[in-house]
């Protein structure tokens, strides 16, 4: 590790293409001056076109990775991404509940942005029951929010009610991402203590947006690990993702 850097832990899957998963998370951690550690939950064979194969790790091995990191270093923040199935979620929730960790960011990953299921549908209720009550903030996009709630979130005007309903599931805060909305804007809604805080932003017309959800949740965890407050951390994470997408836009 680098002396003086805080530590963050990502509990997520490996992306062979490098655009998402632990690979994207570690890049975000480093960009925020945070030492990145990992507990790999799954290995995927994928590229920017789709997911070709998935192997989920044994729950005991995932827990062993978490405990190995926690034994060696104080963990300033944790993010979870792809968890794969119910046994892994149960094991991760147990490990985090009995350990000493900083804020927990839950990215409720269910499918890759370019196609391919990354969570057993039967595991979704387990994620809600076991992990959401432990987390500082959950960061669903609109399709993920719809799956968690059992009903679609059709537009910006429906986002506050959706965020409030998600908050009722147990997380301390909800960052509901509006990247799937139509139009030139991409607003996110932070629901915190019953207050709506809109994080406005223009849509960045990048050719490839694979991994933006992983990157945002990792950047948010990194900002929390270095001591930012939640609102400032959300703004910093959104700015980081926008800048990363902007770097992918080819000049005319």
pLDDT digits over 28-55, tens only?
999 999 999 999 999 999 988 888 999 9
User: How many CB atoms are located within 10 Å of the residue 194 CB?
Assistant: 7
Is residue 161 included in any domain, yes or no? yes
Which tokens is 224 given?
A: 């929390």
DSSP, collapsed to helix, strand or coil, labels residue 108 as coil
Q: What is the pLDDT of residue 116?
A: 66
Q: Name the H helices within 3-158.
A: 21-31, 59-72, 86-98, 124-126, 142-149
Domain extent at residue 237:
7-243
pLDDT of residue 94 exceeding 80, the answer is yes
Give the confidence band of 15 by pLDDT, cuts at 50, 70, 90: very high
Distance CA(130)–CA(62), nearest Å, equals 16
β-sheet bridge partners, residue 9:
37, 78
pLDDT of residue 113 exceeding 90, the answer is no
Number of domains in the chain: 1
Model pTM score: 0.93
For the domain that residue 115 is a member of, what is the CATH number?
3.40.1190.20
Is residue 252 included in any domain, yes or no? no
Is residue 69 included in any domain, yes or no? yes
Is residue 249 included in any domain, yes or no? no
Rg of the chain over all Cα atoms, to the nearest angstrom:
17
Structure-model confidence comparison of residues 110 and 64, the more confident one:
64
Distance CA(146)–CA(2), nearest Å, equals 40
Q: In the 8-state DSSP scheme, what is residue 185?
A: B
Is residue 248 included in any domain, yes or no? no
Is residue 192 included in any domain, yes or no? yes
Distance CA(90)–CA(26), nearest Å, equals 24
DSSP, collapsed to helix, strand or coil, labels residue 49 as coil
Which tokens is 236 given?
A: 């910093």
Distance CA(13)–CA(69), nearest Å, equals 17
Q: By the 8 A CB rule, do 12 and 23 touch? A: no
Q: By the 8 A CB rule, do 225 and 77 touch? A: yes
Q: What is the pLDDT of residue 82?
A: 95
Is residue 101 included in any domain, yes or no? yes
Is residue 251 included in any domain, yes or no? no
């Amino acid at each position: 590790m680098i002396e003086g850097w805080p530590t963050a832990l990502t509990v997520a899957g490996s992306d062979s293409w490098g655009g998402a998963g632990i690979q994207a998370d570690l890049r975000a951690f480093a960009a925020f001056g945070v030492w990145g550690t990992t507990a790999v939950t799954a290995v995927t064979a994928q590229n920017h076109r789709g997911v070709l194969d998935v192997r989920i790790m044994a729950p005991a091995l995932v827990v062993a990775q978490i405990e190995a990191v926690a034994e060696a270093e104080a963990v300033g923040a944790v993010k979870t991404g792809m968890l794969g199935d119910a046994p892994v979620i149960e094991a991760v929730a147990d490990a985090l509940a009995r350990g000493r960790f900083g804020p927990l960011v839950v990215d409720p990953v269910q499918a890759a942005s370019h196609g391919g299921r990354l969570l057993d549908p039967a595991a979704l209720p387990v994620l809600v029951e076991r992990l959401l009550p432990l987390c500082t903030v959950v960061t669903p996009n609109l399709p993920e929010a719809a799956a968690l709630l059992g009903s679609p979130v059709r537009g910006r005007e429906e986002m506050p009610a959706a965020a409030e309903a998600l908050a009722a599931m147990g997380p301390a805060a909800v960052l509901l991402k509006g990247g799937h909305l139509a139009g030139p804007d991409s607003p996110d809604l932070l629901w915190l203590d019953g207050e709506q805080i809109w994080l406005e932003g223009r849509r960045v017309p990048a050719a490839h947006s694979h991994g933006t959800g992983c990157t945002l949740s990792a950047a948010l965890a990194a900002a929390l690990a270095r001591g930012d407050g939640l609102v400032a951390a959300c703004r910093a994470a959104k700015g980081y993702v926008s800048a990363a997408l902007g770097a992918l836009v080819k000049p005319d």
